[in-house]
Structure formats: structure tokens, C-alpha cells
Amino acid sequence: MQSIAVSRQPRPGRWAISDILALYALPMNDLLLRAQTIHRDHHEPNTVQRSSLLSIKTGACPEDCAYCPQSSRYTTPVQAQPLMPMAQVIEAARKAKAGGAQRFCMGAAWRSPTERQLDDVIEMVQAVKAMGLETCVTLGMLKPGQPERLKDAGLDYYNHNLDTAREHYADIITTRRYDDRLQTLERVRDAGIKVCCGGIVGMGESRAIRAGLVAELANLDPYPESVPINHLVKVAGTPLADTEDLDPLEFVRTIAVARITMPKAVVRLSAGRETMHDSTQALCFMAGANSIFYGDQLLTTGNPQTEADALLFERLGLRAPAADQPQAAREAATC
């Protein structure tokens, strides 16, 4: 497989790591003011899009991602399960829509789907799309021609995270290369599918590594329409189970820096909300997060319950984006 050449020097008008570190170093009030001002320039204030995520094929993944309980290389509480039957997927999508979800995301623990596996997923995408939900899938690396098949099925977004900065990548994953991830993103973009791409913080990385991740994302051309920022969920049996906790305010800073460097992207507050205090989440929304995963489960780890999220939204005066917004506004307000 041919490697994609990635320049370490930002193009004119692009973000250097030193510039991003300078943002991180701002006084918190100044950083939040700048992030919220930019947020309001590009997005409807006080709206947060809700997405639901379903693991349609769980566990037995051959990759060695150090954070992931679905890896077959680690002994974790996750039990491997085959591809979920269509009827169960449709029922889950129906419940998600009834609960207020605007997007339904489906994840499968594969290194790369076979054509037969993709056939099954395409049927699911078509069925969920017919329900009036936006669709997103994460299936691992895609081969030539596969993104086009997903596009033809009506897929709106493809999720494929960079996870961390290039310099830290080999400490987290050894079974695929950074350029493999970039190649899949390039194929998805070329097929006309919107990109959902972010990373995980709290994996023992330095602030410079976090800045490097944001730089990689912000310097994609174009940057992703959707940027999920995940806080590491530590699972027993994975190599990162005993990692030192990240300062919650450092997580908030990461949300703010993502908003400033990718103004039009939807920044999603993703994994890690189960253990996140309501005040931390409130600061994340102030910092520019305008999407969440909601429901009881996030792939194989817990997530705040729907009722708790509804109460938090009420307390903060947040609402879902209007379904009848003009398309351009809806795209700016969805993940």
C-alpha cells in the first residue's frame, strides 16, 4: 500500500503546533470567550445535536489499540458478538429517534470490512436512512470502491478517528499506520461522504501531543465536518487501564482549542461523559461543543442515561437544533 506523504510544516494559513500550544496557554476565561465567540459566528447558540451510537458487531477485533476493550489481544469484560440482525438494528434506530436522536451511528469492530460484510451494513444504512435519520458508520479501514458503495446507499458521515498525534501513535497502536488512517479519510472524502474524525485524550499524552492531534485534524484539507473529542474510558484488561486521570479543565481546553481551529465543524462531546461532572460538561458546551452521544451505551462502555441528559439540557437551557432549519444551518448544527 502506497504511503501518503504528509508535510509536517503547515501550509500558509494553517495551524502550527506552536500556535495551538499558545491557545492552550491562554487564561481560561480568555480561551472560553474566544471559543464561544467563534462558535456563535458559525453555529446557532444554545443548541446541541444528539446522536445515538450502536455497536452492530462487537469484539474480536484483531487490532491492538491500547484503549480498546474490543481488541482480541486483551482480556476484558467485553464478550464478542456477531453482526447484529437487521431487526434489532431497526428497533434500536426507532427507539433512538423516538428519544430525540437526529443521527444514528453504527460501529463494527473490524480492521477492514469484506465486501460481504459491507453488503449487510449497506442494507442497514438504507433502512435507517429511510426512517429519516442521518446515518454514520465506523467500520475500520476502507478499500478502494467501498466508500462509493456506502455513498450510493445514502451514507451521510463516515467516522474514522486519528486517535492521537502522529508522534504518539506507535505508543497506542502498532497494527496499522497513521497513514493508513489518512488514506481511508482521503477515500471517504473523494467519494463525497462527510468526514467524522477526532481523537482520544487522557491516554497519558502530554499537552504538546494533544496540540499535535488538533493540528493534524485542523490541517486536513478540508478539516472534518464532525470532530468527536473522546475522554479515555479506562477498561480493566487494556494497557491503559491504570493511566493517570486527565485534569477536567485540560479536557475543556481541548474542546475550546478544537472549536477555535475548526470553526465550522461540529465538535462532539463523546466518550467519557459517564464519569464527567455536570459542571465540566457545561464548560465544554461553553467552549464550543455542540453535539453529544446520548443513551445508556457508547459502543461497549457506559454513557449518561437519556433522562439525565434531558435534565442537564433543561438546567443549561440547551435544546436540539430545529428540524426545519435551512439545510446549510442544519449541516452546521449536526455532528
Active site residues: 61, 65, 68, 105, 136, 196, 268
Q: Report the candidate in 139, 123, 108, 133 with the shortest Cα–Cα distance to residue 300.
A: 108
CA–CA separation, 283 and 28 (whole Å): 10
- Say if residues 237 and 168 touch (Cβ distance below 8 Å): no
- Say if residues 193 and 80 touch (Cβ distance below 8 Å): no
How do beta strands 266-269 and 291-293 pair? Answer: parallel
28-42 vs 248-261: helix crossing angle, rounded to 10: 40
Q: Is the dihedral of CA 58, 275, 105, 142 positive or negative?
A: negative
Torsion of CA 19, 25, 29, 32, to 10 degrees: 40
C-alpha cell at 66: 491500547
- Omega of the bond leading into 222 within 30 degrees of 0 (cis): yes
Distances (CA, A) of 39 to 118, 194, 264, 290: 37, 20, 8, 9
CA–CA separation, 283 and 289 (whole Å): 9
